[in-house]
Chains A and B, each alone.
Chain A
Amino acid sequence: MTGRVLRWTGLAVVGATVILAVVLASRFGTDPGLVDSPLLGEPAPEFDLAGLDGSDGTALSELRGDVVVVNFFASWCLECREEHDDLVATSESFADRGVTFVQIGYQEAPAESLAYLAQAGMSAATLYLADPGSRTAIAYGVFGIPETFFIDPEGTVVGKIIGEADALILGATIDAIMAGERPGQRITGDTRQRPDP
């Protein structure tokens, strides 16, 4: 009798193992660090930040009516540097179409971000803002950079790109939003979390 119980226990373990193994195996392709943003479909968190150069602040609510693209960056982030030209080009390209680009420095002294931008090039149509205390980054749930958020003219977060973006993805996302769609979240690559390894 105990023998039977043991036998069934053994076989139960075998069954459970196989199920769990299949589950674990299916996880292989995914990055364990990635999270779905709960902000999608929700009103975008408000912010009112000064420029990196100390100039007057801009509030998100002032930009209501435009499609707003919010990108978090830092000079120590390799992927941010790679996507920089694309951000500048897209910003200029959509400048008169009711799209405003906002780039917010992340975990970096404003002076350093500014120095980097001076060398990498800035778009006249983009707002470059400082985020003291990382309050905005926290409010947007930034896990690493680069992360880019898309806010529709009504102020709802409708898109997010995790990782390095390029002009095509940026433009296509903006096109979709202007056509009334909600592109959702898209992962294009890795993000960086801090300057140290």
Chain B
Amino acid sequence: MSERIRNVATVIVIAVMAIALVLLTSTQPADVDRVEQIGLRIKCPVCQGESIANSPSPMAEDMMDLVSERVAAGVSDQGIIDELLGSYTGAVLLDPPASGSTLALWLAPMVALALGVGVILWWQRHPGSDTHDPAPPVERSRTRLLTGGVVLILAFAGIVVVASNSLQDRPAEAAGAAALEGQDLSEVSNETMEAVVAANADNPEVNGMRLALAERYFEVGDYRSAFPHYLLVAEDPEATAGEAVTALVRLGWMAYDGNGEVETATRLVDEALAIDPRSTVALYVRARLRWCGAGETDQAIETFEGLLTDPGLDPETAAGIEADLELARDGGECP
């Protein structure tokens, strides 16, 4: 048999076999499991990069159940994907869509391939000259070497610094006790403060906030709400002296003003004075109790005068004391 006929025959046989193969392989049963196909495109949100179809985690199973349900209900592939995107955003997809922000990703490989082919063809058509340009002598100048080295070190350092800075900007840790210090509480509601002090009840640092909350109630005359907080602070062995004094004095005042219990009030204020004999507010309240409760006007006047000589007295309290002093001197009844 001549070479040519053999060749033609071989080509024909190859072609026939190839066609047969293509036909055989393309008529396989299309038992494409739609649920699995969709599942392969969705990332399990609680796993590291596995699809929900492949991941053994229970969450992945639950999500696959959801997908099954939707498929059975006749929802389209894209519909199911969109539903999940509505909850999870694009990071839940393993297969980036061929549009929008990920279009570049799809195009890039084709572009790279085309670029590569282009480069090869260009290179083929532009042979370099066989004569080298007289090479500029390899500069041995020290300065050049040093400058180059310095530039590189700076680039290295610069990157490291930028990166380290971003490491510092991490989101703050959960608040906890640290948040109780120095918080601007003017915006915070009473309920929030109630919750905070309740949740941090065993933390002595919460006393400051507790007192602030109690003050709010006190100022609007809500003694019932203020009472438990002042009591907790007064009974807390870890409370600071200042906190305890404030609490006791307030308790004393509320006992007098709210219930008329002069003896209880006096006892409480005396307790405060035992802690801090020079507490202005304690002395003031004590004096008022003497004046209003026990009728010891003279002693009260004496205390008032003594208090007014304190240079560190704030204007509001001073005004109050002055008003009381005047009234007492006039022999008036206690308001």
Q: Do chains A and B touch in the complex (CB under 8 A)?
A: yes
What residues on A are CB-neighbors of B191 within 8 Å? 90, 93-94, 97, 99, 171, 174-175
Closest chain A residue, CB of each to CB of B162: A25
Chain A contact-residue range equals: 35 or more
A107 sits at the interface (CB 8 A)? yes
B316 sits at the interface (CB 8 A)? no
Q: Is the pair B128, A2 in contact by a Cβ cutoff of 8 Å?
A: yes
Known A3-B133, A168-B175; judge A29-B168 contact (CB<8 A). Answer: yes
Q: Is the pair B196, A28 in contact by a Cβ cutoff of 8 Å?
A: no
Q: Give the size of the chain B interface in residues (CB under 8 angstroms).
A: 54
Q: Is the pair B199, A39 in contact by a Cβ cutoff of 8 Å?
A: no
What residues on A are CB-neighbors of B167 within 8 Å? 28-29
Interchain CB contact (< 8 A) of B174 among A37, A42, A92, A164: A164
- A191 → chain B closest CB, angstroms: 9
Closest chain B residue, CB of each to CB of A108: B58
Pick the interface stretch among A51-59, A110-118, A131-139.
A131-139
B169 sits at the interface (CB 8 A)? yes
Q: Is the pair B192, A168 in contact by a Cβ cutoff of 8 Å?
A: yes
1/0 contact trace for A14-36 toward B, CB 8 Å?
00001001101111111000011
Interchain CB contact (< 8 A) of A166 among B47, B85, B187, B199: B199
Interchain CB contact (< 8 A) of B195 among A26, A28, A92, A143: A92
B76 sits at the interface (CB 8 A)? no
B183 sits at the interface (CB 8 A)? yes
Interchain CB contact (< 8 A) of A143 among B45, B58, B65: B45
A166 to B191, CA, bound (A): 14
B71 sits at the interface (CB 8 A)? no
Interchain CB contact (< 8 A) of A35 among B57, B63, B91: B91
A2 to B63, CA, bound (A): 56
Q: Is the pair A89, B188 in contact by a Cβ cutoff of 8 Å?
A: no
Q: Is the pair A38, B59 in contact by a Cβ cutoff of 8 Å?
A: no
Q: Is the pair A188, B174 in contact by a Cβ cutoff of 8 Å?
A: yes
What residues on A are CB-neighbors of B46 within 8 Å? 143-144, 193-194
User: Secondary structure at chain B's binding surface: helix, strand, loop or mixed?
Assistant: helix
B87 sits at the interface (CB 8 A)? yes
What residues on B are CB-neighbors of A139 within 8 Å? 87
Q: Is the pair A90, B65 in contact by a Cβ cutoff of 8 Å?
A: no
What residues on A are CB-neighbors of B74 within 8 Å? none
How many A-B residue pairs have C-beta atoms within 8 angstroms? Tell me: 168
B312 sits at the interface (CB 8 A)? no
What residues on B are CB-neighbors of A18 within 8 Å? 155
Q: Is the pair A189, B174 in contact by a Cβ cutoff of 8 Å?
A: yes
Q: Is the pair A167, B192 in contact by a Cβ cutoff of 8 Å?
A: yes
A12 sits at the interface (CB 8 A)? no
Interchain CB contact (< 8 A) of B173 among A89, A165, A188: A188
What residues on B are CB-neighbors of A178 within 8 Å? 189
Q: Is the pair B128, A169 in contact by a Cβ cutoff of 8 Å?
A: no
Q: Is the pair B87, A86 in contact by a Cβ cutoff of 8 Å?
A: no
B200 sits at the interface (CB 8 A)? yes
What residues on A are CB-neighbors of B173 within 8 Å? 188-189
Interchain CB contact (< 8 A) of A165 among B123, B163, B174: B174
Q: Is the pair B198, A92 in contact by a Cβ cutoff of 8 Å?
A: yes
- A13 → chain B closest CB, angstroms: 14
Closest chain A residue, CB of each to CB of B128: A2
What residues on A are CB-neighbors of B87 within 8 Å? 38-39, 45, 138-141
- A33 → chain B closest CB, angstroms: 9
A120 sits at the interface (CB 8 A)? no
A24 to B159, CA, bound (A): 9
What residues on A are CB-neighbors of B189 within 8 Å? 171, 174-175, 178
Q: Is the pair A166, B89 in contact by a Cβ cutoff of 8 Å?
A: no
Q: Is the pair A22, B200 in contact by a Cβ cutoff of 8 Å?
A: no
What residues on A are CB-neighbors of B171 within 8 Å? 187-189
Q: Is the pair B192, A25 in contact by a Cβ cutoff of 8 Å?
A: no
For this complex, 19 residue pairs linking A to B, each with C-beta atoms less than 8 Å apart, are A3-B133, A25-B163, A27-B166, A35-B91, A36-B89, A38-B87, A79-B174, A92-B195, A134-B59, A134-B63, A164-B174, A166-B199, A170-B192, A171-B191, A171-B193, A172-B192, A175-B187, A175-B188, A193-B47
A residues sitting closer than 8 Å to B (CB atoms) are 1-3, 18, 21-22, 24-30, 35-39, 42, 45, 79, 82-83, 85-86, 88-90, 92-94, 97, 99, 107, 133-135, 137-144, 163-172, 174-175, 178, 187-189, 193-194
Ranked nearest first, the 6 interchain pairs of A and B with the lowest CB-CB distance are A171-B192, A141-B87, A89-B198, A193-B46, A90-B195, A25-B163
